[in-house]
Structure 1
Amino acid sequence: MKKKLLIIGASGHGKVVADIALKMNKWQSVAFLDDNENIKLSMGIEVLGKSSDVLKYLEYFDIFVGIGNNAIRERIQKKLEAEGASIPVLIHPTTVVGEQVEIGVGAVIMAGAIVNCCTKIGKGCIINTGSTIDHDNTIEDYVHISPGVHLAGTVNVGQGSWLGIGSVVSNNVNITSGCKVGAGAVVVRDITEAGTYVGVPVRRV
């Protein structure tokens, strides 16, 4: 762990990430990189340059990818890993994390989230505000669990999937990789084909 944190992305998601980092109180300073040259400050935090500048900061900064898009976040984090970057896990102080929970590098767990025992959270995941993940879940790499999502026990969510705000997944359900589940949707049986799913219960669109 380094003494400074650098967040790639100074927009909405990046600002929430920065807020969590500040509340964790583990770094002497926090800064951003962002490709919008018009942004010099975000939340009063300095933007040091563009995302392409990141390599010159690897020696002195932990690096975190604060970008909400799953595919872009995965691409950037994989490049950082290949360069040997120090990538932390960010957990808001109000989060409840159970025993025997594994959390991959680059994951963020936001305010009020609950992750119950024996669950595995993959690399680069977003476990968003007020979401709940019950026991024995497997959330694969670069998944976004939106605010207010509720997963029952023994749920598997495949790599790069996105569960929309307020969606619900019943117990013992598997969701394959590359899925988008719409806001407020209810998943009661396995989803085996990538695609977009909406409704109560969900149907593919």
Structure 2
Amino acid sequence: MDKIEQTKKLILLGHSEGGIGVLMDLASELSGVNQFDIVKNIDLPDCVFSPELYSIRHFFDFEYDFESNVKLGVQFGVHHSNVKYLLYFHFLKKFGIEKERYISIKHPSSYIAPSAELGGALFLEPLSVISSYSKLGFGVSIKRSASVGHHVNLGDFVNINPRAVLSGYVNIGMGTEIGAGAVISNNVNIGSRTLIGAGSVVTRDIPDGVIAYGNPCKVVRENERWAKITY
């Protein structure tokens, strides 16, 4: 979080009250950040928090001066994979916000193996684990008490929800979400833009673009969250 050590301020792209609430607390705890500029790409109600612990300002994207605030770090104000994906390309194409502008937030109670390779814009919640020789893409979220096994590959914008367990040599494609408490067996490949339901036990490969759940995990239908996204 070196980009915000001195400014104590952070830009959040997009917003959900759940995502921003967790992110603000972690940023404040780790680096004393207490000011947040929330930049919205669509017209949604402003986030309201009680108690009001931080200084929060809301902007529409066309109102915000990214050039004047070029020294500020950037993170996503959401966690869902498809929304992160859309926000990234929206702000890249309209405002030139490159990957290098994003900062990572990693709680100190998490474990990251020395041999793990981490992409940018990582969001790592308390008590999460990233094991040896794992590779994480850009914009990955690992929620509290989730465990990523050794030699695991996570594509860009993957979201691993609380208490999910990924065994060794697992591959998960871009934009896929793993539900809370899911268990992924060794050597399983899960495609891109897929959703694995909470509590599922995945023992076989799962293809791209589907919703799958159960024990054993089975494909149920197309993942509608991604159906209309064309880039």
Q: CA offsets per residue over residues 147-204 of structure 1, 9 Å max, x none?
A: 0100001101111111111000001110000111111000011113431111101111
Structure 1 residues 83-162: aligned runs within 5 Å: 83-84=96-97, 86-162=101-177
2:201 corresponds to 1:186: yes
Query: Is the 1:64–1:88 Cα contact (8 Å) retained in structure 2?
Result: yes
- Specify which of 70, 90, 101 is matched with residue 81 of structure 2: 70
**Deviation for aligned residue 1:34:** 5.6
TM-score by length of 2: 0.80
Task: Mark the CA change 1:162 to 1:149 in structure 2 (over 3 Å): closer, same or farther.
Answer: same
Q: Which residue of 2 aligns with 1:22?
A: 28
Q: CA–CA distance in 2 between the matches of 1:58 and 1:69? A: 26
Q: CA–CA distance in 2 between the matches of 1:182 and 1:191? A: 12
Task: Mark the CA change 1:191 to 1:17 in structure 2 (over 3 Å): closer, same or farther.
Answer: same
2:18 corresponds to 1:12: yes
Task: Mark the CA change 1:156 to 1:51 in structure 2 (over 3 Å): closer, same or farther.
Answer: farther
Q: CA–CA distance in 2 between the matches of 1:102 and 1:55? A: 33
Structure 1 residues 35-74: aligned runs within 5 Å: 35=40, 36-39=44-47, 43-52=52-61, 53-56=63-66, 58-74=69-85
Which structure 2 segments of 5+ residues have no match? 221-231
Residues matched between the structures, number: 204
Question: Which secondary structure does the structure 2 equivalent of 1:13 belong to?
Answer: helix
Query: Is the 1:101–1:119 Cα contact (8 Å) retained in structure 2?
Result: yes
Query: Is the 2:84–2:157 Cα contact (8 Å) retained in structure 1?
Result: yes
Which structure 1 segments of 5+ residues have no match? none
TM-score by length of 1: 0.89
Task: Mark the CA change 1:87 to 1:13 in structure 2 (over 3 Å): closer, same or farther.
Answer: same
Q: CA–CA distance in 1 between the matches of 2:114 and 2:204? A: 27
**Deviation for aligned residue 1:41:** 5.3
User: Structure 1 vs Structure 2: percent identity of aligned residues?
Assistant: 24
Q: CA–CA distance in 2 between the matches of 1:81 and 1:128? A: 26
- Specify which of 34, 38, 41 is matched with residue 33 of structure 1: 38
Query: Is the 2:116–2:132 Cα contact (8 Å) retained in structure 1?
Result: yes
**Deviation for aligned residue 1:32:** 3.7
Query: Is the 1:22–1:30 Cα contact (8 Å) retained in structure 2?
Result: no
Q: CA–CA distance in 2 between the matches of 1:196 and 1:71? A: 13
**Deviation for aligned residue 1:105:** 1.5
4+ residue runs over 6 A deviation: none
Q: Which residue of 1 aligns with 2:223?
A: none
Task: Mark the CA change 1:175 to 1:54 in structure 2 (over 3 Å): closer, same or farther.
Answer: farther
**Deviation for aligned residue 1:84:** 3.9
- The one-letter code of the counterpart of 1:5 is L
Q: CA offsets per residue over residues 110-153 of structure 1, 9 Å max, x none?
A: 11100011111111111111100011100100111010100001
Query: Is the 2:46–2:58 Cα contact (8 Å) retained in structure 1?
Result: no
Question: Which secondary structure does the structure 1 equivalent of 2:58 belong to?
Answer: coil
Query: Is the 1:32–1:45 Cα contact (8 Å) retained in structure 2?
Result: no
Q: CA–CA distance in 1 between the matches of 2:64 and 2:74? A: 8
Q: CA–CA distance in 2 between the matches of 1:80 and 1:59? A: 14
